[in-house]
Amino acid sequence: MSTNNGVLRLNKGSGSVVATYQLLDRSAPPGYKTSTIAYLPKANGIAHLCGGTVTLLSTYRNTRKEILRGAYTEMVVNKQSRLFFAENGTNVVEIDAVQKPTIRSAADLVSVGPNGWLYVCRSSGTGTYGGPIRADSGFGGFVRSAHVVDWNADGTLDVLTNRTDGSLQLHRGLPEGGFLPPTVLANTGWDAVNLTVGIWGTALSVIAADNGGLLKAWPVLSTGALGVPSTIGSGWKGRKMVLMVPSRSSSAALIVNQAGSLYRYSRTSGGKVTTSPVQISSGGFSEMTAFSPVVAHRPDLNGIAWLDAVGNVKYTDVAPSSVGRNVNYTFLLKSHKLAST
């Protein structure tokens, strides 16, 4: 049973208390229901709601994790163990409570909403996306762009963000879900750049174009810090780009939206970006406002998930010299921050 401060485990026969799990420390008016709990089989735990705060309790591991705080009521778990709440008495939101990495695969579509929440749309791997799930609240309202990357090659995906205060921050993902407090990789200079992250040549690198149009690559050192950047191109001011490996290709390239058409910029043997790009689409992307690379969203294919000005979500396969047809989804991500925003 639930109390405003936690969960009591009772003996089914006698009703006596077997164990007490302390979650909060607060008082409540007598005679009122102030809390509720729900069993979550997929999370192997119990969700506890009290005063708008939701805590996930694992009685097996004897651990707890706060997953939600705000104006939340009416907790509901459906037959598929999906967890829903009423927000501000009007909106219905779904919360991810499964104790697995927040970003399950590089096919997932990840964004930061205008409310500072990290959202994840889970990929089926067969070309479909689930609706956006609020996955983590620790991203704040000052994110300029968000990028999925396995920064330290531990198999758990992380999120790199640049902020309007000029900082570049890394949110390391945890195997059981959620993220560590962000590590500041740089304090200034990253507020007005277009950037992307991935393998450039053989090294994980952050690539960004500054206000002067210089395109630079920062290698990621074994310590996790950024190394000394090298200039790999010029004339890149204002270009929207993502770094990805096109389908049926073995090397990464920059995919750029120029005037509504997509171009592939490869890496030269000297480590710079080519000045002779390959046009891979004739128009088709004039409505694009942001896009992210996704890997194996469709079997053995890589592509981009992208948004238009209304927030419609679309997906397109990307090959070295062509693109596939656009696939439309029914949910909106208006004003969300993606890799190239």
Distance CA 336, CA 134 (A): 12
Arithmetic mean of pLDDT, 247-260: 96
**Nearest alpha carbon to residue 207 among 247, 144, 258, 253:** 253
The Cα–Cα gap between 34 and 83 comes to: 19
Instruction: Please give the single-letter amino acid code of residue 203.
Output: A
The 3-state secondary structure of 155-206, one letter per residue: CCCEEEEEECCCCEEEECECCCCCECCCEEEECCCCCCCEEEEEEECCEEEE
Instruction: Please state the rounded mean pLDDT for residues 67-83.
Output: 85
Whether the pLDDT of residue 252 is over 60: the answer is: yes
The predicted structure's pLDDT at residue 175: 86
Q: What percent of the chain stands above pLDDT 70?
A: 91
Residue 43: what pLDDT?
Answer: 67
pLDDT in tens, 110-148: 999 998 999 999 999 999 999 999 888 888 879 999 999
Q: What does the alpha-carbon distance between residue 42 and residue 71 come to, in Å, rounded to a whole number?
A: 25
| pLDDT of 29 above 60 | no
pLDDT at 22: 66
Q: Is 329 exposed, middle or buried (0-12, 13-18, 19+ CB in 10 A)?
A: middle
pLDDT at 15: 73
The token pair that represents 248 in the structure block = 């049926």
Which residues sit opposite 252 in a β-bridge?
none
Among residues 146, 157, 187, the alpha carbon closest in space to that of 340 is found at 146
Are the beta carbons of 147 and 195 closer than 8 angstroms?
Answer: yes
Decide if pLDDT at 99 tops 90: no
- What's the mean per-residue pLDDT of the chain? 89
Positions of E strands within 201-270: 203-209, 215-219, 230-233, 240-244, 253-258, 261-265
